[in-house]
Structure 1
């Protein structure tokens, strides 16, 4: 960004050294040209500020408004009239959840890469805290199944979706390891899972959206944790290196033997 010299600036006291006082017309138009994404977000901020402050609040006696429920209303009616199909889909979803857990545990116990496992532990711990702190009511017209996970209609936390977050964690690990086909399969199944959860009213839309964000966030935090441990261990070893420190390039795995 081109800056004007101090001689071009007006004498405005403490504002004379402010960053924006050095902007030129070319700088301002250049932001739109070279940084369109932040500009779109800025326009979205103004739009949703208008929406937020002109929209009527949902009455406490009314069910929550959820666009995901509205979009999947035909699927909800379809599954409500076919309980057997609903149970079949619930069973397939449970199999997918098992696939997520098997992969995440496999990366640690078999491949020796703990990042996905650490990420899942972080994620489920945070989900438990948030889910207990704000216990949301079960959506109306929830379609439960005895083969679903959690099983049947037993109590479970709505916020946020552990199903979605765990799938994101597994998919991110697959992409790090360049297991592209498996990663794309998990992404596709995750989308189908989200459609089913909305159709059966098993989660609100916000639960699923935050589940995606939680998977990305805790995967990143697990990576930062591994990196910090690596720095600590290397700093404590002679000359900053050690034969006992092992780092795997793709998985960023770090281990130090006890001897």
Structure 2
């Protein structure tokens, strides 16, 4: 298992684990705020719709797919609050919200049309996936499902949002 050594390191070094949890969660919060800002100031409901659909789908999946905590999971309140990340849950696994928000946010970031933003977004996705796998906060299937969910929701939001945008603006 390629994450075993790093998982052991973070298990033996709570300060490092806390730092990773804080940074990972802060990036998710920043992406969430970006998506909300992009909706409010960007002229389309698409980012909010996607985030809403993603979180709704995740809640539905959690209701029907209860999984036990992964072995050697490192997941606790790191001493710093988060807007979007919950730390005290027992069955918050399928699918990975960190992964899904990172992928959906990255897809939205690529719309900015700047290569450096696209590269940074891809690195953010890799970081978030690595963090949840190293900390064993999710199973690999949770991460894969988070990627698939985010891409599916992005495609659905892209198709639905133009009609909603027209409806909201009073157009036909």
Per the TM superposition, whether the score is higher than 0.5 is: yes
Alignment partner of 1:168 out of 103, 109, 122: 103
Normalization by structure 1: what TM-score? 0.59
Unmatched segments (≥5 aa) in structure 1 = 1-69, 231-252
Contact 1:86 1:145 in 2 (8 A): no
Deviations 1:72-109, CA, capped at 9 Å, x for gaps: 01111111111110001111011101111011001111
The Cα shift of 1:142 comes to 1.0
The reply to whether residue 256 of structure 1 matches residue 169 of structure 2 is yes
The Cα shift of 1:145 comes to 2.7
Alignment partner of 2:71 out of 140, 147, 154: 140
**Distance in 2 separating the partners of 1:201 and 1:127:** 19
Unmatched segments (≥5 aa) in structure 2 = none
What is aligned with 1:197?
Answer: 132
The count of residues paired between Structure 1 and Structure 2 equals 165
Normalization by structure 2: what TM-score? 0.87
What is aligned with 1:102?
Answer: 33
Q: What are the within-5 Å matches in structure 2 for residues 5-84 of structure 1?
A: 70-84=1-15
**Distance in 1 separating the partners of 2:70 and 2:107:** 30
Q: Aligned-pair RMSD on alpha carbons?
A: 1.8
Alignment partner of 2:150 out of 193, 212, 215: 215
Give the number of the structure with larger relative contact order, counting CA–CA contacts within 8 Å between residues 6 or more apart. 2
The Cα shift of 1:156 comes to 4.5
Contact 1:166 1:215 in 2 (8 A): yes
